[in-house]
Amino acid sequence: MTLTKDDIRQIGEVVVEVTSPMFESLGERMDKLEVRMDGLEVRMDKLEVRMDKLEFRMDSLEQELSDFKSEVRTRFSTLEERINHMVAKNQNIFDNIDEDIRFIYQLIEKLEKGSAAEKEFAKETIIEHLPAIYKAVILVAKDLKVPLPKPETIK
């Protein structure tokens, strides 16, 4: 069996009739797919913009954190320097306290058991050169109701 031109033309028409709706449907599907792809592309662009904003915000937060860390380090350094300065300053105040207490005990001992010259020296030292100690002794004595002799009577 040989096909004639008519047969081929008829087969072509049948093929076109059968495949046309299929191609039209495929074309419609491709159009819908293209619309969806355009929508996805728009959404991806928006997502990219949001990601850029987030990246910028993250960079900003990193910089803020770095600045905060730097400020905290600076403040801790300053605080440490101040503490060291206070320790050094106050250390000198208490370095000789044992010596001072021993000296006060010696003065008191001289007031109690010393010679007349030693008593006079202790009295003058306590009253004239150490007024804060003298006042403290007077206040404690008053609080404990211990009678103290007047400075003129101590000999």
Sort 54 into a burial class: Cβ within 10 Å, 0-12 / 13-18 / 19+. exposed
The token duo for 45 is: 């662009």
Greater confidence (12 vs 133) lies with 12
Instruction: Provide the pLDDT for residue 24.
Output: 82
pLDDT above 50 for 86? yes
Q: pLDDT tier at 44 (50, 70, 90 boundaries)?
A: very high
Residues 6 or more apart from 108 whose CB is under 8 A from it?
Answer: 122
pLDDT above 90 for 57? yes
CA distance 77 to 54: 34
Instruction: Provide the pLDDT for residue 99.
Output: 77
pLDDT above 60 for 147? yes
SS3 147: coil
Q: pLDDT tier at 119 (50, 70, 90 boundaries)?
A: confident
Instruction: Provide the pLDDT for residue 62.
Output: 95
CA distance 96 to 101: 9
Greater confidence (155 vs 103) lies with 103
Q: Tokens 């910089």 map to which residue?
A: 63
Q: Is the separation of the CB atoms in 110 and 121 below 8 Å?
A: yes
Instruction: Provide the pLDDT for residue 155.
Output: 47
Q: What is the pLDDT of residues 21-37, one digit of tens each?
A: 888 888 888 999 999 99
Closest CA relative to residue 127, chosen from 97, 115, 119, 146: 119
**Diameter of the chain by CA atoms?**
160
